[in-house]
């Protein structure tokens, strides 16, 4: 039975928050738990032994499993010696620059371009460079080994800015060097464009899909940078999704990282998927990050294999995500599920502790500007009713292990 004072709280919350997220944009969790109970109820909880930013899983290199291909590529680049890098493995910045380009070229699909003139993860020309890859040519390891041969050989002296890059601020320079001088992804009519980094405006003009390549590189730096032995400065949370969910402390760091996002253009663009994590301008007083839908969109676009471009207010996000193919979680919260509330609000579940009736929510809200971007611990029972619906992300998560 719901007490009268609880009903009052819900009514007040409805009246306040329904005003906050109608504009759709273009306490510590306990580590002690009954594993058998949670497993049988398909609920995930905080695992204190999982401290890595990525999983240590292994698997076949297939065109259908881009997560494994990404991780395999990151591990190869940060564990293989390159001549141009003083016979050392790539640092986090160099690794991210390569991977940002590979993402744009092929999505890490070694089968990309079959039957066409450009093939593989970096789209080698065929006939031509592609013919020099060891058979089977569609094997990811063979393609990575050939990438090393090219970087150690004919392309080594063309990539000075790339080999010199080591600080996080050098990601754009390193990414441009690979785009311009290795991929040679030059915009039409720009054959004589600068081979060295100047600024983002010139890069947009000179090379193909610059904003996407730069954005992807920044994301891979956060996701896989901890694999590098040097040149890596972790952010507030390493972009990590801790297996099973976060403690309140980790969740606060996670939200601080979101709060600190900067546009990759002079401003957040309206109606453009080329902004960082496809976040566009919003009608919030605190800017786009202060919008509840923005945060849920950011979480999906950065930490899953799906891309979500807003179409609804906060109360419609879960319906959109289920239509996109995510699991329908009904009214049961789970770590890293996205919720919609009937009072036009949305957010992400960052941790759950059923034993202590606690849930950790990451959220933003227009009505409270940037001050409302936070992680908060609430009573789990308050989020386990027909006011809230959930879309589960288990099958599509990346950057973390579940």
Q: Is residue 59 part of a domain?
A: no
* C-alpha span between 166 and 355 (Å, rounded): 45
Strand runs labelled E in 330-396? 338-341, 345-353, 358-363, 374-379, 388-392
Among 197, 227, 257, the domain boundary falls at 227
Contact 208, 192 (CB under 8 A): no
121: CATH: 1.10.530
Q: Is residue 57 part of a domain?
A: no
Tell me the residue range of the domain where 80 lies: 66-227
Q: Is the model's pLDDT at 347 over the cut of 90?
A: yes
| CA distance readout (Å), 149 to 74, 106, 154, 176 | 17, 20, 9, 20
Among 193, 227, 261, the domain boundary falls at 227
* Mean predicted confidence (pLDDT) in 40-62: 34
**Backbone dihedral angles phi then psi of residue 66, each to the nearest 5 degrees:** -65, -30
* C-alpha span between 353 and 334 (Å, rounded): 10
Task: Supply the pTM of this predicted model.
Answer: 0.50
Taking Cα atoms as reference points, which of 163, 165, 144 lies closest to residue 99? 144
* Mean predicted confidence (pLDDT) in 8-16: 40
Query: Are 210 and 290 within one domain?
Result: no
Question: Rg of the chain's alpha carbons, rounded to an integer?
Answer: 22
Region of 278 (left: φ > 0; alpha: ψ -120 to 50; beta: rest) is left
How many domains, in total, are found in the chain? 2
Quick: pLDDT tens for 364-397. 988 777 778 999 999 999 999 999 999 998 888 7
Region of 245 (left: φ > 0; alpha: ψ -120 to 50; beta: rest) is left
* Mean predicted confidence (pLDDT) in 119-140: 95
DSSP string, 104-135: HHHTT-TTTTTTSSEETTTTEETTTGGGGSPS
Q: Is residue 402 part of a domain?
A: no
**Mean pLDDT computed over every residue of the chain:** 78
Query: Are 272 and 297 within one domain?
Result: yes
Q: Is 178 helix (H, G, I), strand (E, B) or coil?
A: helix
Q: Is the model's pLDDT at 251 over the cut of 90?
A: no
């Amino acid at each position: 039975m719901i007490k009268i004072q609880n009903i009052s709280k819900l009514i007040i919350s409805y009246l306040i928050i329904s005003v906050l997220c109608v504009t759709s944009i273009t306490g510590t969790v306990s580590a002690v738990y009954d594993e058998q109970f949670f497993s049988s109820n398909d609920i995930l909880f905080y695992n204190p032994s999982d401290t890595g930013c990525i999983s240590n899983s292994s698997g076949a290199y297939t065109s259908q499993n881009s997560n494994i291909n990404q991780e395999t590529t990151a591990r190869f680049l940060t564990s293989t010696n390159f001549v141009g890098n003083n016979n050392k493995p790539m640092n986090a910045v160099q690794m991210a620059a390569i991977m940002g380009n590979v993402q744009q070229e092929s999505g890490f699909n070694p089968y990309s371009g079959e039957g066409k003139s450009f093939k593989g993860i970096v789209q080698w020309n065929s006939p031509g460079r592609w013919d020099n890859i060891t058979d089977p040519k569609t094997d990811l390891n063979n393609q990575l080994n050939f990438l090393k041969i090219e970087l150690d050989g004919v392309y080594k002296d063309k990539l000075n800015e790339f080999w010199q890059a080591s600080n996080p601020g050098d990601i754009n320079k390193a990414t441009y060097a690979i785009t311009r001088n290795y991929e040679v992804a030059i915009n039409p009519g720009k054959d004589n464009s600068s081979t060295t980094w100047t600024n983002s405006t010139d890069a947009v003009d000179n090379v193909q899909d610059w904003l996407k390549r730069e954005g992807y590189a920044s994301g891979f730096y956060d996701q896989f940078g901890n694999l590098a032995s040097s040149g890596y400065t972790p952010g507030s949370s390493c972009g990590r999704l801790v297996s099973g969910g976060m403690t309140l402390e980790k969740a606060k760091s996670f939200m601080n990282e979101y709060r600190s996002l900067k546009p990759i253009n002079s401003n957040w663009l309206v109606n453009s998927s080329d902004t960082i994590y496809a976040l566009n301008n919003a009608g919030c007083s605190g800017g786009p990050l202060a919008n509840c839908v923005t945060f849920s969109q950011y979480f999906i676009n950065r930490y899953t294999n799906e891309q979500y471009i807003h179409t609804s207010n906060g109360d419609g996000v879960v319906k959109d995500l289920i239509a996109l193919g995510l699991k329908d979680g009904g009214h049961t919260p789970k770590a890293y599920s996205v919720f919609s509330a009937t009072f036009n609000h949305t957010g992400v579940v960052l941790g759950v502790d059923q034993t202590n009736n606690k849930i950790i929510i990451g959220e933003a809200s227009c009505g409270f500007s940037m001050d409302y971007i936070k992680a908060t611990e609430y009573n789990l029972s308050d989020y386990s009713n027909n006011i809230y619906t959930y879309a589960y992300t288990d099958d599509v998560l990346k950057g973390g292990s579940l």
